Structure 1
Amino acid sequence: MVGTSLANRLAAHLRRGRQWWLTCEGRVDWPRLPVGATFEGEQLGRWAAGQRAGWADLVGEQRELLGALGIEGDQVLAAAKATMVAKAKTSRADRFALGLAALAAFAEREGHVRVSRAHREDGLALGTWLNNTRARRAGLTAEQRGQLEALGVTW
């Protein structure tokens, strides 16, 4: 069952979509509506694109209500959404390991770990990573702090 607040937001977006449709006398080209289009403060373009991309996830009643406004599913948007969802997420531990490996390569090559904030190493913003890691050292495990200190990182 859809939560009450989610149901209320869906109803509000549908109302805005209907108001826009009525304002345009039913002549809305939803596929060409820019994603950034707004109507009465609502991000109508973004909402419409989301409905078209997630068409397969909608229940029959939702499809009927949207269909009455001329909104239909879009296979290209649905495929793009599926691709985004399928992208593997990198865990914190994996991101740390990538940063640590890049820092180790830098330290071996340069002989120090004084990385400029703008430095990139193998596509990784190493300087930013190191700066952020230092700033968030309280969230590191003792093992992670030890690994960094072994490379010469000072706090």
Structure 2
Amino acid sequence: MQATPGEPATVTPFTDTKPRDRTLTAPRHATALDKPVGQWLTNLRRPDGLGKDPERAARRAEQLAAIDPDWNPGQLGWTVDWQRHHTGLRALLEDGGTLDEILPGVTYRGDDIGRWLARQTRDWTRLNPEQQHRLDELGAKPAVRPQKTAARTNAKTGATKGSDAFQRGVTALQQYVQREGTTVVSRAHVERLPDGTEHRTGIWISNQKTRRDKLSEQQLATLAKLGVEWAQ
């Protein structure tokens, strides 16, 4: 890296000689010719980093843009890190890779492009329109969200099972009350239902009392109608 008075240093882009790879979004710790290029570029991106003289600052910006039009991605609305990963993704694709192959763990010059890409497609709505456009140009699309239908179905199934279990308990308790004339059931009591199955009615009624606050008004009314005092 060489510099002349009043002008930014001449820097070899953080790249090889392929124009498509050119990027000045080097990590802050990057060096070139034993010079701290990354920190130098970081300093240039800061307010007044190109100098306070407007004409000289504009000239310097043009020189940097001639190497990499996106040398200062903060002006575009994203970070240096994002721009560098995007450049890496483009390079991998132009080298013959496919999006299906660029999975977490696939790197480009030390950056995990696969993991970055997965995060972009997952958090697509957090990207600004230009970021989305640039990814779309490379074929990337927002990740397909898992359908919530299964979750809703499971929830409904769970609710149905819960309702069935409650109704089974009511049937057993009703049978017990008709026979014994009381809703006082020992915890160990097991009631045999008409279908031949056994129901641990004592444990069930104890559990209903414990979770009273979670029972619906209809469930409480059903128990109260059978004479369960704590449900009234």
TM-score with structure 2 length normalisation?
0.28
Where relative contact order (Cα < 8 A, 6+ residues apart) is larger, the structure is 1
Higher helix share: 1
- Select the structure of larger CA radius of gyration: 2
TM-score with structure 1 length normalisation?
0.42
